[in-house]
Amino acid sequence: MGSLVFLALVVLLVGWLISAYNGLISLKNQTLNAFKQIDVQLKRRHDLIPNLVNAVKGAMDFEKSTLEAVIQARNQAVKVNAAGPEAIRQISQAENALSSALSRLMVVVEQYPQLKATGNIGQLQEELTSTENKVSFARQLYNDTATHYNTKQQQFPTNLVAGIAKAQVADLWEIEEQTERAVPQVDLSTKPKA
Amino acid sequence: MSDDASRNLFQQQEANRRRTFWLVFGFVLFFAWLGFGGDYVLYLYTLEASPGEYHHSFPWFGIALSLVALAIAWYAYKTGPEKVLWATGAREVVDPQDPKHRQLVNVVEEMAIAAGVPRPRIWIVDDADPNAFATGTEPSNAHVSVTRGLLEACSRDELQGVIGHELGHVKNLDVRLMTTLAALVGAVALMHDGATRVLRGGIRVGGRGGGGSRGDKKGGGGVLLLILLVVWIVSWILAPLITQLLAIAVSRKREYLADAMSAQFTRNPLALASALQKIESAAAPTAKIKRGAAHLCIADPLGRRFTGREGFVADLLASHPPMAKRIAILRGMGYAQIKKDGGVAS
């Protein structure tokens, strides 16, 4: 009788071990996959930007600096090819810079109604909005999945299996405070700038 | 929150897989009952017949009807999404030229990324009333459909909320259950119409030929026969009603969940709330979407009276929860979020 109870306990324990291990592995892969999704969307954005700049270049001779900032940020972001634990931080820094350059461009386009009226600028804006949304939704999915993964591997009793499953805390994709703040400042007042 | 949400998601998917199985199983079982019941009635009826006449001893009807039901269920499961889309007259958006269509495609792609599902195929129903539905058997084989009225009425953010709601249905496999159900409801209605015609003809023939010589011959068998016959005929008559009630019961609770999932994807519950408000205030029924697919939609396309109410009767008769309550819940989420972020409502 006693040995039967013992056997049942062992079976239960092994069953739990397997399910906890598999749960962690599946979360790990989901996190990796979500990260790849961000990559895909960033790549899409990099490919889109040259077309975008070409489309508005003619109409926006007077806003050269804004366009140049976008191109520069884009080239910077494409160049980042980091690996290892620093990767996410470096990529996210470059991409955040690109994001803020793009939103400045959008604000500028918004400021010139005659620009909006000509041809496909409206459509272009839609594409740009969508691209930015796709990047940020991919980031959101990654952060949600990674948070879930991190919580799981730190919580008791799953944390006992975390070592076996080689689970490591996944970095979240942070939005840097200063770049975020720098984005939507449009001064439409008539007072001279300092 | 994320932990709870994903455990819930897994449970929802499991529950939907299970429910789809039981739905199909029950459907086949019901037809088996109709068939074997008919066989038994016929067996009792021909028991007293003289040796030279026909004796019904082999359950042909039962076997045939069970096989037919299996075939229908399989066919309904396989082609359900196509049939639903065909029934609403939706057209697929393949190469969007119109800016509104372009925007729809973009929004669907965005929400598919947020939900972590493959991009579904996109359809538009040419109807002026704002509404939307999703169909499919699994996330990799899913369709999202919106009406022309929705595209015209909603802003980009609102559209995002509605699409998020539909992808919520896709992600937790609601679409599988609801599409199979829609296809089966259609099949039952069709079969019922056909069978009623045959049955009516049969009774008329029986009445002419049989006369009154059955009841007095044998007491016990006759009563049993009568009871069976009544129950059997009643099940024939009730079949479409039962499937309708099933469709209604299955969809009501899910709408709240899909609303919550939409809020999770967009992080913008207020946009969905305002979209629902617009859908609600456009009172006209969605003419293109008929009874069979009503439970798939984000809002009741038939504009039924019971949708606005709570309680037992409404639970039985309305396919959708009251819009006011859904909007109130979403607003609650939205304001809680604003409060947490320390901002003010705009």
The answer as to whether A20 is a domain residue is: yes
The answer as to whether A192 is a domain residue is: no
Q: Which chain B residues have a beta carbon less than 8 Å from that of A122?
A: 99
**Total number of domains in chain A:** 1
Taking each helix axis from N to C terminus, what angle separates B219-266 and B2-45, rounded to the nearest 10 degrees? 160
Whether residue A148 and residue B2 make contact (CB cut-off 8 A), yes or no, is yes
Q: Supply the mean pLDDT for chain A.
A: 78
The answer as to whether A187 is a domain residue is: no
Could you tell me the CATH number of the domain that includes residue B138?
Answer: 3.30.2010.10
pLDDT in tens, chain B (346 residues): 444 555 567 777 888 888 888 888 888 888 888 788 878 878 877 777 777 777 777 888 888 888 988 888 888 888 888 888 888 888 899 888 888 898 999 999 999 999 999 999 999 998 888 999 999 988 999 999 999 999 999 999 999 999 999 999 999 888 888 888 888 877 777 766 766 666 665 555 444 333 334 444 444 556 777 777 777 777 777 777 777 677 666 667 788 888 988 998 999 899 999 999 888 887 667 777 766 677 788 887 776 555 555 555 555 566 678 888 889 889 988 888 777 766 554 4
* pLDDT tens per residue across span A72-127: 888 888 887 666 556 777 777 888 888 888 888 878 777 777 666 665 677 777 88
**Total number of domains in chain B:** 2
Q: Which chain B residues have a beta carbon less than 8 Å from that of A123?
A: 99, 102
The answer as to whether A49 is a domain residue is: yes
The answer as to whether B185 is a domain residue is: yes
The answer as to whether A191 is a domain residue is: no
Whether residue A126 and residue B267 make contact (CB cut-off 8 A), yes or no, is no
Nearest chain A residue to B96 by CA distance is: A123
Say which residue, B290 or A68, is predicted with more confidence: A68
For A172, the domain range is: 2-181
Q: Do residue B170 and residue B278 come from a single domain?
A: yes
Q: Do residue B59 and residue B185 come from a single domain?
A: yes
Q: Do residue B225 and residue B254 come from a single domain?
A: no
Active-site choice (B166, B255, B280, B310): B166
DSSP letter at A165? T
Q: Do residue B121 and residue B150 come from a single domain?
A: yes
Instruction: Please tell me the predicted confidence (pLDDT) of residue B214.
Output: 41
The answer as to whether B346 is a domain residue is: no
Nearest to B113 among A41, A127, A147 (CB): A41
Quote ipTM for the complex.
0.75
Q: Do residue B68 and residue B196 come from a single domain?
A: yes
**Would you call B48 a catalytic residue per the annotation?**
no
- Asked if B214 and B47 count as a contact pair (C-beta separation under 8 A), the reply is no
Contacts of A192 (CB under 8 A, 6+ apart): none
Whether residue A148 and residue B111 make contact (CB cut-off 8 A), yes or no, is no
**What number of residues does chain A have?**
194
Residue B30, Cβ density class (10 Å: 0-12 exposed, 13-18 middle, ≥19 buried): middle
In total, the C-beta contacts within 8 angstroms joining chain A to chain B are 45
Whether residue B111 and residue A137 make contact (CB cut-off 8 A), yes or no, is yes
Q: CB distance from A147 to chain B under 8 Å?
A: yes
Instruction: Please tell me the predicted confidence (pLDDT) of residue B310.
Output: 55
Q: Which chain A residues have a beta carbon less than 8 Å from that of B263?
A: none
Give residue A178's identity as a one-letter amino acid code. Answer: Q
Whether residue A123 and residue B99 make contact (CB cut-off 8 A), yes or no, is yes
B207, B233, B259: which is the final residue of a domain? B233
For B295, the domain range is: 88-176+249-341
Q: Which chain B residues have a beta carbon less than 8 Å from that of A37?
A: 113, 116
The answer as to whether A193 is a domain residue is: no
Q: Do residue B172 and residue B185 come from a single domain?
A: no
Best of A28, A137, A140 to mutate (most B CBs within 10 Å, chain B): A137
Residues of B with CB under 8 A from a CB of A: 2-3, 6, 99, 102-103, 106-107, 109-111, 113-116, 156, 265, 267
Q: Do residue B266 and residue B303 come from a single domain?
A: yes
Could you tell me the CATH number of the domain that includes residue A8?
Answer: 1.20.1440.20
Nearest to B82 by CA among B2, B141, B14, B31: B141
DSSP letter at A186? -
Nearest to A130 among B2, B110, B265 (CB): B110
Inter-residue long-range contacts of A143-148, CB under 8 Å, 24+ positions, other chains counted = A143/A172, A143/A173, A144/B2, A145/A27, A145/A30, A145/A31, A145/A34, A145/B116, A146/A31, A146/A34, A146/A35, A146/A170, A146/A171, A146/A172, A147/A172, A147/B2, A148/A27, A148/B2, A148/B3, A148/B6
CA distances for A29 relative to A134, A145, A170, angstroms? 21, 10, 12
Average pLDDT over residues A173-185: 51
Instruction: Provide the shortest C-alpha distance from residue A42 to chain B (in Å).
Output: 13
Instruction: Provide the shortest C-alpha distance from residue A187 to chain B (in Å).
Output: 20
Kind plus residue range of the DSSP H or E element containing B124: strand B121-125
pLDDT at residue A178 is higher than 70: no
For A157, left (φ over 0), alpha (ψ -120 to 50), or beta?
A: alpha
The answer as to whether A67 is a domain residue is: yes
Q: Is B138 helix (H, G, I), strand (E, B) or coil?
A: strand
Nearest chain B residue to A141 by CA distance is: B114
